Structure 1
Amino acid sequence: MSHAVMLVIAMLLDATLGEPKWLWDPVPHPAVMIGRAIGWAEARLNQGDARFAKGLALVSTLVVGAWVIGCVLGAFGWVVEVMLAAVLLAQRSLVDHVQAVGDGLRVSLGDGRRAVAKIVSRDTGAMDQSAVTRSAIESAAENLSDGVIAPAFWFLIGGLPGLLIYKAVNTADSMIGYRTPRYEQFGKAAAKLDDVLNWIPARLTAGLIAIVHWVMAEWAAIRSDAALHRSPNAGWPEAAMARALGVAIAGPRAYGGEMRDFPFVNGFGRTALGPDDIDAACAALWRTWALALAIVLAFSLF
């Protein structure tokens, strides 16, 4: 069975079932297991001299290990590959988490803040309704790329080994790929490799969003806004989502009590935002997913 056919099935399973609580309460999620392995290694290696070399060794081990595990598990047949691919895609869970922010805001600002705190790393305690909404929309766009399109892309290219390599590197980047005194050297290899693996998927995600929302004519503006982002990749889906919804996102926010003056994306868009905009972002996630599914389905026919 081709990777494209398996991916179609996996995408449909993920969209239908998501991440059922009854399964992942007793059994660790594969991404959690990868994270635990990285945390164990980081605690032992990220000290002393040659931290960059140690971090590079960790990332190299993750890549080789993911490839070996993917090949071994893939040998058990297409059912195992499809089930693991469905588990490692995150469309349904992404929509659920983003929608929870909108639902929370409809109850109270405090509920909205608590919900968005589960999906962003910035300070949320002093956010107003618009800031909460912007954060949810940004997370929706970025994680559509990292959690759905990129894993699907690498499964299509490299099957289960390709998907596992991507998830291992992406998880490492999310844990140690920071420019802080602790991680600057140790996490540099993970951050750079994650940038490479996400280069095509991020731009592909932006294109898919733009196509289904009829804003491809604004591609030059999307590219310009994407360049404002501190990440070489995350700005692309965020810029496309902002244009698709006609809103301004990003902008100043606080981390660890320190306010950072980041530029707005689509600065001429609406800035007074609320739960209805989160509903629109969730609808955009599904429309973009549907186009991606149609493209993979087309590949499967050939």
Structure 2
Amino acid sequence: MTLLLGMLLDALLGEPRWLWSRLPHPAVLMGRAVGWIDTRFNTGDRRKRNGTLGLAALCLGAALLGLALMAVPGSWVDVIVLAILLAQRSLVDHVRAVATGLRAGLAQGRAAVAMIVGRETATLSESATARAAIESAAENLSDGVVAPAFWFAVAGLPGLLVYKITNTADSMIGYRTPKYADFGWAAARFDDVLNWVPARLTAALIWATTPSRRSIAPIIAEAPLHRSPNAGWPEAAMAHVLGIALSGPRSYDGALRDYPFVNPDGRHLIGPPDIDRACRTLWLTWGLAVFATVIVALF
């Protein structure tokens, strides 16, 4: 029931601004730890070894912290930590802000989507802006909600914290660039491993929200075509449930990447109403996850 309470508390409160404007969010502290490892050890000709040992140290520290927190009497600590590190409410708020921005104007929509994606947004069309928001919604539903809940269910607070520090490291150093190709290799690979089951579970939950229960076969066929071994699963599921095309070409660091579309036969012209539908799908998927948690807790 701890997992259920944590999910409900996160959905109710999200990330209270009055609190995190006064205290550093745990995700910020994790980012500082990864940044320190990067600054201190991402040098020399043994970067892959340094990055692997650095990630191992971060994961060990996270696991030990989780064990220490579990030693506190009562389950209230588990519930609070879980609610803080889940991101359902904040994810929906950030994605919905893109729809609100687009309704006010393309510039406002681009500014809102720039808060949640890493690609260049200055030249995005309305459809590309909406597509970026929906892709982020699908991927972060897996990374920020289902995966943390899954690893908490499997290994308690140590599992949750190890997942979060790994995911943070991947988001900061897990890039195939000259600076991080070697140093961030372990973070990227371990993040892929930890997200393998949650990504596919997220896809199944998203697919289960559609009343028609359309075939899951296209999702299974198209997900591996995505540039990421895991992100393709929730994105493919979201694309087929909404009947739209996702992924496709995008620009990073001034270079256009010609990625294939997921559900290429879906609608390519999309806008704020599709973002609204994606937000409803996020809540429906969350509801299914809550229902599954209750069933597991009872039986």
Normalising by structure 2, report the TM-score: 0.98
Secondary structure of 1:121's counterpart equals coil
Identify the match of residue 31 of structure 2 among 32, 35, 41: 35
C-alpha contact 1:130 1:274 (8 A) present in aligned 2: yes
Secondary structure of 2:256's counterpart equals strand
Partner of 2:144: 147
C-alpha contact 1:14 1:89 (8 A) present in aligned 2: yes
Partner of 1:68: 64
Where do 5+ consecutive residues of structure 1 fail to align? none
**2:44 partner letter:** G
Q: CA deviation at 1:214?
A: 4.2
Identify the match of residue 134 of structure 1 among 131, 134, 152: 131
Identify the match of residue 265 of structure 1 among 262, 271, 281: 262
Identify the match of residue 119 of structure 2 among 118, 122, 137: 122
Say whether residues 1:22 and 2:15 are aligned partners.
Answer: no
Say whether residues 1:105 and 2:102 are aligned partners.
Answer: yes
**2:31 partner letter:** G
Q: CA deviation at 1:228?
A: 1.2
C-alpha contact 1:207 1:216 (8 A) present in aligned 2: no
Secondary structure of 2:216's counterpart equals helix
**1:260 partner letter:** R
Partner of 2:52: 56
Deviation by residue 1:163-210 (Cα, 9 ceiling, x = unmatched): 000001000000000000000000000111000000000000000000
Distance 1:215 1:258 in 2: 40
Partner of 2:208: 211
Secondary structure of 1:111's counterpart equals helix
Normalising by structure 1, report the TM-score: 0.97
Q: CA deviation at 1:215?
A: 6.2
Distance 2:9 2:186 in 1: 33
Distance 1:102 1:116 in 2: 9
Secondary structure of 2:251's counterpart equals strand
Say whether residues 1:92 and 2:54 are aligned partners.
Answer: no
Classify 1:215/1:169 alpha carbon distance in 2 versus 1 (closer, same or farther; 3 Å).
Answer: farther
Secondary structure of 1:254's counterpart equals strand
Distance 2:261 2:87 in 1: 27
Q: CA deviation at 1:217?
A: 3.9
Deviation by residue 1:253-301 (Cα, 9 ceiling, x = unmatched): 1111111111111000001101000000000000000000000011111
Say whether residues 1:289 and 2:286 are aligned partners.
Answer: yes
Say whether residues 1:177 and 2:171 are aligned partners.
Answer: no
**1:173 partner letter:** D
Distance 1:7 1:163 in 2: 11
**2:88 partner letter:** Q
Count of aligned pairs between the two proteins: 298
Distance 1:85 1:27 in 2: 17
Identify the match of residue 7 of structure 1 among 3, 6, 12: 3
Q: CA deviation at 1:72?
A: 0.4
Q: CA deviation at 1:239?
A: 0.1
Distance 2:253 2:212 in 1: 36
Secondary structure of 1:218's counterpart equals coil
Partner of 1:161: 158
Secondary structure of 1:67's counterpart equals helix
Distance 1:73 1:24 in 2: 20
Distance 1:28 1:15 in 2: 20
**Identical-residue share of aligned pairs (%):** 59
Where do 5+ consecutive residues of structure 2 fail to align? none
Secondary structure of 1:282's counterpart equals helix
**Bigger shift: 133-142 or 214-223?**
214-223
Q: CA deviation at 1:63?
A: 1.3
Say whether residues 1:227 and 2:224 are aligned partners.
Answer: yes
**2:17 partner letter:** K
C-alpha contact 1:63 1:169 (8 A) present in aligned 2: yes
